[in-house]
Amino acid sequence: MRHPIPSLLLAAGVLAACASARPGAADPSPYGGPPPGAAAVRFAPDAIPAGRAFSAAFTPDGRSVVFTYRDRASGVVELWTARHDGTRWTGAGPAPFARGWTSADPFITRDGRRLYFSWEKPSPTAPADTVADFDTWTSERRDDGTWGEPTHVGDAPHSPQSDMYPSVTRDGTLYFDSVRPGLPARRNVWRARLAGGRYGPAEPLPRAVNDSAGGASNPYVDPDERYIIFMAGRPGGLGRGDLWISYRRPDGAWGAPQNLGPRVNTADVEFCPTVSPDGRWLLFSRIRYEGDRQVADDVYIVGIDVLPPPAP
């Protein structure tokens, strides 16, 4: 049984996190975030290829990152890794554990022991499941810091359509987005509970998140399910697709989504949110457009104080 944290306590926790991150200039930690109150800036611009990266996930010490590399010219989409050597990010290159099939959307659990990601490799029990369909796979971190051979999380939460962008809570609940039919919008956020070491069937989140017209995708869920950040195009947004936040109410229901505002959202598309393991930074991705043509993807970082407090 979950006990949703009251809104005032949650707001106090967010403010405390902000108060602990008040550098006078750009953050000196591996994250390298901007000063408090500033707009988002590109993450690790010296190491991550400009215009060819989205969706980042970090180990608990903040010194290892897994991100999605996308080369629009060649069509390559695959997971890459990089490390912080104490001074700078370095060694960006393809992740050896996820080669051979398109891979994307990394998520690392708070204890750093497990990586979840979207992979087009067919399910072990459904070899006819072709590369047109993403599923969720997971990899365990070895003692030497490398990631082990990926395993499929199981068929129960999946569908014949693509199920992508996993986010996992402290108790193992799996959130993701899916293009499966059955709801008014094409793409929505779903959730599958873990019981006895296995995931059960997925259920869609309620309309507060899965708006009937615009749907929702790319969920990041707080480890204790206090809030969810997601991407959607809906009235009140600033661009083609924005990041929104919904807080859980004391009764367990999801509250009305709030837009994250102009320090995050632009006229382009913002997507793939995550919060750094130390709770100080929001990282997200942006697709830049020229007219109606997508031309670049980059990872951005901004202070966690960008999150609005829960609505009264």
Predicted confidence (pLDDT) per residue in 108-141, tens digit: 999 999 999 999 998 887 655 555 689 999 999 9
CATH number of 7-306: 2.120.10.30
Dihedral sign, CA of 112, 278, 64, 103? Answer: positive
Determine the pLDDT at residue 129. Answer: 55
Q: What is the pLDDT of residues 50-83, one digit of tens each?
A: 999 999 999 999 999 999 999 999 999 999 999 9
Q: State whether residue 66 is helix, strand or coil.
A: strand
The residues near 235 (Cβ < 8 Å, ≥ 6 apart) are: none
Residues 101/112/274/66 CA torsion (nearest 10 deg): -40
229 φ/ψ angles, rounded to the nearest 5 degrees: -110, 135
Cα 228 from chain centroid? 10
φ and ψ at residue 227, rounded to 5 degrees = -155, 165
pLDDT score, position 287? 98
Q: Look at residues 138, 159, 164 and name the one whose alpha carbon lies nearest to residue 218.
A: 164
161-173: string of b/e by CB count within 10 Å (b at 16+)? ebbbbbbbbeeeb
Q: How much is the pLDDT for 172? A: 96
Amino acid at 267: A
The domain ranges of the chain are 7-306
Rounded Cα gap, residues 78 and 269, in angstroms: 20
Distance separating alpha carbons of residues 229 and 202, to the nearest angstrom = 19
Q: What is the DSSP letter of 239?
A: S
Please give the model's pTM, rounded to 2 decimal places. 0.90
Write out the chain's pLDDT in tens, 312 residues: 333 434 434 444 444 444 444 434 556 689 999 999 999 999 999 999 999 999 999 999 999 999 999 999 999 999 999 999 999 999 999 999 998 899 999 999 999 999 999 999 988 876 555 556 899 999 999 999 999 999 999 999 998 889 999 999 999 999 999 988 878 778 999 999 999 999 999 999 999 999 877 889 999 999 999 999 999 999 999 999 999 999 999 999 999 999 999 999 999 999 999 999 999 999 999 999 999 999 999 999 999 999 999 987
Contacts of 211 (CB under 8 A, 6+ apart): 185, 232, 234, 257
How many other C-beta atoms lie within 10 A of the C-beta of residue 146?
Answer: 12
- pLDDT for position 211: 87
Assign 97 to helix, strand or coil: helix
Strand, coil or helix: what is 17? helix
Please tell me the number of Cα atoms within 13 Å of 21 on its side-chain side: 29
Cα–Cα distance for residue pair 89/56, rounded to 1 Å: 13
